[in-house]
Structure 1
């Protein structure tokens, strides 16, 4: 089936990267359609045609952020031990949330910290996304228990919750101006929960 209308005059990934930056800096609630179209360099009809409404654009932006800016999660989950999984994840997380080329902190945390009751779907979406990530770590830690890398007295769900809580706290601290060096020290202390 042939495409109708004029060909798109912008790169979808570049436009989503611009949307990520705006949502990250301003949060979902604080971002307007004018903010998005201005930063993306497109008009409203183009935004609607390519991405849908503001909520759909945000969800697509979070998806791209997870694939690109948080690619280290997959790398962490592939590490050989529970300790190296946590170490790779936390250290990479600190480097990402303190990257001087990007806003400090984490889009998935800052994007939905404050939300109007009308934005509950977005808040729920972010919570669901974080829970899905946490479940992946729980599965990896369960495997570590089965392989004898972690003791049978460990709870993989609790360990995953712990790791998620630490990384969320690191993101909030980074957004508040904490230095990379200070956050790497926090990550190192948190790793004491995992056997060397």
Structure 2
């Protein structure tokens, strides 16, 4: 019979999530991760696998625990409301925790070594999936007349993602919630309106 784990795996995952959020994938040392989890390295590996596997679990946890505002936004009645809900919810998340500002999906690996390439690619894929969801929602908005017939759902989705990611970087750099809200307001001023709006 195997030995029972002597630590709470869920609490450990939450703790390492915060380390990755604050320091990124490569910036988080094994010492940082084990200290945060409160366990020795072998126990952490036994529970989660290697550092990459641990990061992927932490990223999944981040999406599950902190990004519920995205599916909520996709259900809103207008494309502008979708964009506004996402932008303002991201501002809240990016500035809510002073110890780990910004976004794990952006802070994770903006640039890294070749060893971090699989993690960087996983984050690119996750962001692309989010952009695809927005594009599909904006295509529906154009078909319903909420956006003008000339609107480009792909460009609008890319625009929202670019603003979102830029705000995450700025939050990490110390921008205040108020300043980020003025950025979101400015972005929404340019939002196209269809005949049905």
Structure 2 counterparts to residues 34-49 of structure 1, below 5 A: 34-49=31-46
Structure 2 counterparts to residues 52-67 of structure 1, below 5 A: 52-67=49-64
Aligned partners of 1:148 and 1:125: how far apart in 2?
A: 35
2:142 counterpart of 1:145: yes
- Deviation, 1:101, is 5.1
Aligned to 2:154: 157
Q: Under a length normalisation based on structure 1, what TM-score does the superposition of the two structures give?
A: 0.93
2:33 counterpart of 1:31: no
Aligned to 1:95: 92
- Deviation, 1:193, is 3.0
- Deviation, 1:123, is 0.8
Q: Under a length normalisation based on structure 2, what TM-score does the superposition of the two structures give?
A: 0.93
Runs of at least 5 residues in structure 2 that lack an aligned partner in the other structure: none
CA contact (8 A) 1:29 1:114 kept: no
Aligned to 1:14: 11
> Deviation per CA, 1:11-36, whole angstroms, max 9, x where unpaired?
22211111111111211111122221
- Deviation, 1:145, is 1.1
Aligned partners of 2:159 and 2:127: how far apart in 1?
A: 13
Corresponding pairs, count:
193
Aligned partners of 1:89 and 1:76: how far apart in 2?
A: 6
Equivalent residue for 2:178, pick from 176, 181, 185: 181
Aligned partners of 2:181 and 2:8: how far apart in 1?
A: 36
Provide the secondary structure at the position in 1 that maps to 2:171.
helix
- Please give the root-mean-square deviation of Cα atoms over the aligned residues, in Å: 1.4
Provide the secondary structure at the position in 2 that maps to 1:88.
helix
Aligned partners of 1:166 and 1:13: how far apart in 2?
A: 32
> Deviation per CA, 1:43-78, whole angstroms, max 9, x where unpaired?
222212221100010011011101111111111111
Equivalent residue for 1:83, pick from 74, 80, 83: 80
CA contact (8 A) 2:22 2:99 kept: no
- Deviation, 1:93, is 0.6
2:11 counterpart of 1:50: no
> Deviation per CA, 1:150-183, whole angstroms, max 9, x where unpaired?
1121111111110000000001111111110010
Aligned to 2:189: 192
